[in-house]
Amino acid sequence: MKEIRIEKVDERKERPNDSELGFGQTFTDHMFVMDYDEKDGWYDPRIIPYQSLEMEPAKATFHYGQTTFEGMKAYKNEKGEALLFRPEKNAKRFNNSNSRMCMPEMDPEIFVKAVKKAVEVDQDWIPTKEGTSLYIRPFAISDEVYLGLKAASKYKFMIIMSPVGAYYPQGLEPTRIYVETEYVRAVRGGTGSAKTGGNYASSLKAKHKAAQNGYDEVLWLDGVERKYVEEVGAMNVFFKMDGKVVTPSLEGSILAGITRDSVIKMLKNWGYEVEERKITIKELVNAYKEGKLEEAFGTGTAAVIAPIGELSYNDLDMEINNFEIGDLTQKLYDNLTGIQTGKLEDPYGWTEKVLDK
Ligand SMILES: *Cc1c(COP(=O)(O)O)cnc(C)c1O
């Protein structure tokens, strides 16, 4: 990549207090921007003051939704060094998403270099209070003025960053989950395995319905038979049944979470049997009735681990582990966040310093 041009703000914004942070409400001083056209590929990488974009209303992205994004976090370890978690996995997944959406891919090294430089420039923004982090949102949009339906010939890649508060200010908390039997999130052959805006727009209706009925999130079933379990909200889902851990296999409609992959590797390292396979909702109901549904949790960058305390399927309310956090769920949360924040040793080589030296 050509040198990243850096234009710094004249005056830094006031950073909110660590204890007053929400999620994705305030943004750091700078942003990374890079353009793409067919002749030059990705060009003009630059870090500039965080600012609004001015765009013609005929830009294709507003109409046909060619958009992709990633979600990552940076933490500071006790020495004050900024750490990323498996950033090359995000780079690779970004390319998978782009490929599915007919958008240009990017050399993973450039992606990681851009993220590191952006975090470096704004590293004073990384909050340090327990549970807080700097959320990083790399994303791409089509950037062509044209209303014909085709893949655009121009794109913009940007990285914005937001200091975020603790997802669980009072420690891990079990969630109430509604098993959605009407709406679906994705189908095989569709875009479910891409991080693209439309997937989230189409999920809102079910989430809204669940919220109105007092639930925190939706458990998605497969789009064809409404029989197999897929994901929980925008997280992957795991169940501990009869001592074994199971999670839905990636069959094209499920997003391949990096937290999911990390949890599977940790569990195997600890000697657990982990099965990636199809799981029917009926299997969960039967396990529950036999007293074998021991723990359930979601995994994703934002929450890391989200314990599930209740699953509601049709007229059946299944309480899991007496609506308490399971031992394994807690252990996974403690170990994963411990590694991410540099408090625990990282035997997997997952954390990466933003500044190598
Ligand atoms: C981002 C995302 C996940 C979790 O992926 P992580 O890499 O663990 O953050 C799971 N499901 C969906 C639908 C997602 O968008």
| Mean pLDDT of the 10-17 span | 94
Claim to verify: residue 36 and residue 154 sit in the same structural domain: yes
Look at residue 252 and tell me if it is in a domain: yes
Domain count, the chain: 2
| Mean pLDDT of the 319-341 span | 97
| Mean pLDDT of the 258-284 span | 98
Look at residue 44 and tell me if it is in a domain: yes
Report CA(332)–ligand 1 centroid distance (Å): 17
Report CA(300)–ligand 1 centroid distance (Å): 5
Q: For residue 167, what are the contacts with CB-CB under 8 A and spacing of at least 6?
A: 23, 131, 302, 303, 304
- Point out which residues pair with 305 in neighbouring strands: 299
Domain termination site, one of 118, 137, 164? 164
CATH number at residue 190: 3.20.10.10
Claim to verify: residue 114 and residue 263 sit in the same structural domain: no
Q: For residue 296, what are the contacts with CB-CB under 8 A and spacing of at least 6?
A: 237, 238, 239, 240, 307, 308, 311, 320
Claim to verify: residue 157 and residue 10 sit in the same structural domain: yes
CATH number at residue 113: 3.30.470.10
Claim to verify: residue 229 and residue 329 sit in the same structural domain: yes
Q: What digits encode the pLDDT tens for the residues 81-139?
A: 999 999 999 999 999 999 999 999 999 999 999 999 999 999 999 999 999 999 999 99
Reported confidence tier of residue 1, pLDDT bands at 50, 70, 90: low
Report CA(307)–ligand 1 centroid distance (Å): 16
Claim to verify: residue 143 and residue 118 sit in the same structural domain: yes
Report CA(328)–ligand 1 centroid distance (Å): 21
Ligand 1 nearest-atom number relative to CA 231: 11
- The residue nearest atom 5 of ligand 1, judged by CA position, is 257
Reported confidence tier of residue 357, pLDDT bands at 50, 70, 90: low
Domain termination site, one of 164, 187, 217? 164
- Would you give the distance in Å from CA 329 to the centre of its chain? 19
Q: For a ligand 1 pocket test, name from 301, 305, 332, 350 the mutation site with the most ligand atoms within 8 angstroms of its C-beta.
A: 301
Q: For residue 63, what are the contacts with CB-CB under 8 A and spacing of at least 6?
A: 147
- Domain extent at residue 241: 175-340
Q: Which of 163-177, 282-296, 306-320 has the lowest mean pLDDT?
A: 163-177
Reported confidence tier of residue 242, pLDDT bands at 50, 70, 90: very high
**Distance of CA 328 to CAs 111, 160, 305, 324, 347, Å?**
34, 34, 11, 12, 19
Distance CA 267, CA 250 (A): 18
Ligand 1 nearest-atom number relative to CA 299: 8
| 181 C-beta neighbours (distance < 10 Å), count | 13
Query: Could you tell me if 295 and 329 are in contact, meaning their C-beta atoms sit under 8 angstroms apart?
Result: yes
